[in-house]
Amino acid sequence: MNSGFSNLARRTPAVVSRARAIKQWTREALMLCDDAVVSVNELACHLPGCPPKETVVLVMQGARTLQVSIHKAMQDLTEDDIAFAFATVAERPD
Domain boundaries, the chain: 5-89
Buried b (16+ CB within 10 A) or exposed e, 57-94: bebeeeeeebebebeebbeebeeebbeebbeeeeeeee
pLDDT of residue 79: 96
Sheet of 64-70, strand order: 5-7, 37-45, 53-61, 64-70
- Per-residue pLDDT at 56: 95
- Looking at residue 91, what is its pLDDT? 57
Q: Which pLDDT does position 26 carry in this prediction? A: 96
Q: CA distances (Å), 73 to each of 36, 53, 57, in order?
A: 24, 5, 12
pLDDT the model gives residue 10: 60
Average pLDDT, the chain: 85
Q: Of residues 72 and 8, which shows the higher confidence score? A: 72
> At the topology level of CATH, where does 5-89 sit?
Double Stranded RNA Binding Domain (3.30.160)
pLDDT at position 4: 55
Would you say residue 58 has pLDDT above 70? yes
| pLDDT tens, position by position, 1-41 | 445 545 545 668 888 899 999 999 999 999 999 999 999 99
| pLDDT score, position 44 | 86
